Amino acid sequence: MPEVAIIIPAYNQARYIGSTINTVQQQTFSDWELFVVDDGSTDKTNEIVRGFLDDHRVHYIKQENKERAAARNNGIEKSSAPYVALLDADDLWHPEKLAKQLSTIKAQPDAGLCYTLADTIDSGGKQLHNSYHWRTYSGRVFDELLRSNFITNSSVLLRRASLLNVGLFDSHLPVFGSEDWDLWLRVARQCSVCLVDEVLTFYRVYPENTSSEQLLKSGLAVVEKLYSGAERLPDSRVTRSQARANLYLLAARLSTRLSKSARTRLLMLGVRNYPTCVLSFWGVDAVGRIVLPSLTSIIKGWVWRLKHWRKS
């Protein structure tokens, strides 16, 4: 049995899926099996993936379109390896990603999930200057995750036992986009989380990404599911109002396709849910992006350069 099962859901990703599979095959750790779950693609995804099937570790599964949560679950259920790695069909990995994660999570037996830092790349694979990491967390991070989803889906390696203990992706959420956050919360509520503090994952940013508006709607659905109408959880300091406010702040920060007035309305919805949220790090950042976007962009650029200069 392979040690790691890699799950890639794919819907009309013919443009990128070949590069993504290549980064799996280039891993220094080779004891893996890959399940590409084609979620009803109508482009040449099928044709491109089949070109990799001469590698006995690569498996292709075709299903009717059921959304990515169901596609990931299908791949997980078809696999049996003790560790499960998640990878989106348009993202990339550093060659040492799996090797370093396995070493890290094996050294921490109470950890159910291991993630890495992630930088953003454009449609051509070029690293973007808005790649930076304000904060990272490890250990018991349930409250930190409730405040903000800082874990990139394609960076995640899970113990199968931990995953099965909390359940797979929720394929019945009313809106998709934050189904990964829903799963991280369930894992982090039961287990510790560990981090490989290196950029080993590359998240592709392009117009077809899930919109920030959809992420907001999906995130609000996750919060309502978690709190079930209550204002507090017995094992968390984060209230339902705080969690909702943080989602509105995130949308106000990232909804660049919306007008300034529309983003301001999102900010005010956050304030309405939790008035002091505007004084938080994310609140100040949201105000800066709306009121002084050019200055904020310059500051981000200098932060990115400084962080990468220190690492060089």
Q: Assign residue 130 a region: left if phi > 0, alpha if psi is -120 to 50, beta otherwise?
A: alpha
Inter-residue long-range contacts of 293-300, CB under 8 Å, 24+ positions, other chains counted:
300/129, 300/130, 300/132
Q: Which of 189, 204, 219 is the last residue of a domain?
A: 204
Can you state the angle between helices 260-273 and 240-254, rounded to 10 degrees? 170
Residue 74 has pLDDT above 80, yes or no: yes
Structural domain contains residue 69:
yes
Tokens of 83: 């560790």
Strand extents, DSSP E, the chain: 4-10, 32-39, 58-63, 83-86, 92-93, 111-121, 157-159, 192-204
Q: What is the pTM of this model?
A: 0.90
Largest pairwise CA distance in the chain: 58
Q: In terms of domains, do 92 and 172 share one?
A: yes
Residue 229 has pLDDT above 80, yes or no: yes
Structural domain contains residue 220:
no
CA 307 to chain centroid: 22
Q: Which of 155, 182, 204 is the last residue of a domain?
A: 204
Q: List Cα–Cα distances, 83 to 27, 76, 88, 112, 162, in angstroms.
A: 15, 10, 17, 10, 10
The 3-class secondary structure across 218-284, one letter per residue, is HHHHHHHHHHCCCCCCCCCCCCHHHHHHHHHHHHHHHCCCCCHHHHHHHHHHHHHHCHHHHHCHHHH
Question: Other CB atoms closer than 10 Å to residue 207's CB: what's the count?
Answer: 7
Residue 173 has pLDDT above 70, yes or no: yes
pLDDT of res. 295: 44
Q: In terms of domains, do 176 and 41 share one?
A: yes
pLDDT of res. 101: 98
Q: In terms of domains, do 97 and 30 share one?
A: yes
Query: How far, in Å, CA of 116 to CA of 118, rounded?
Result: 6
Structural domain contains residue 298:
yes
Mention every residue, 6+ apart, whose C-beta is less than 8 A from residue 259.
none
pLDDT of res. 306: 47
- Which residue type does 16 have? Y
Query: How far, in Å, CA of 72 to CA of 88, rounded?
Result: 10
Q: Over the chain, what is the mean pLDDT?
A: 89
Residue 304 sits in which domain range?
Answer: 239-311
Query: How far, in Å, CA of 201 to CA of 118, rounded?
Result: 5
Tokens of 45: 């995804």
User: What's the CATH number where 69 sits?
Assistant: 3.90.550.10
Domain count, the chain: 2
Question: Other CB atoms closer than 10 Å to residue 305's CB: what's the count?
Answer: 12
Residue 268 has pLDDT above 80, yes or no: yes
Q: In terms of domains, do 179 and 46 share one?
A: yes
Q: Among residues 118, 252, 138, 128, which one has the least CA distance to residue 198?
A: 118
Tokens of 230: 């209550």
Q: In terms of domains, do 135 and 244 share one?
A: no
Structural domain contains residue 243:
yes
Query: How far, in Å, CA of 175 to CA of 51, rounded?
Result: 34
Q: Among residues 90, 78, 81, which one has the least CA distance to residue 32?
A: 81
Q: In terms of domains, do 25 and 173 share one?
A: yes
Q: In terms of domains, do 13 and 70 share one?
A: yes
pLDDT of res. 251: 87
Q: In terms of domains, do 138 and 38 share one?
A: yes
Share of the chain above pLDDT 90, in %: 70
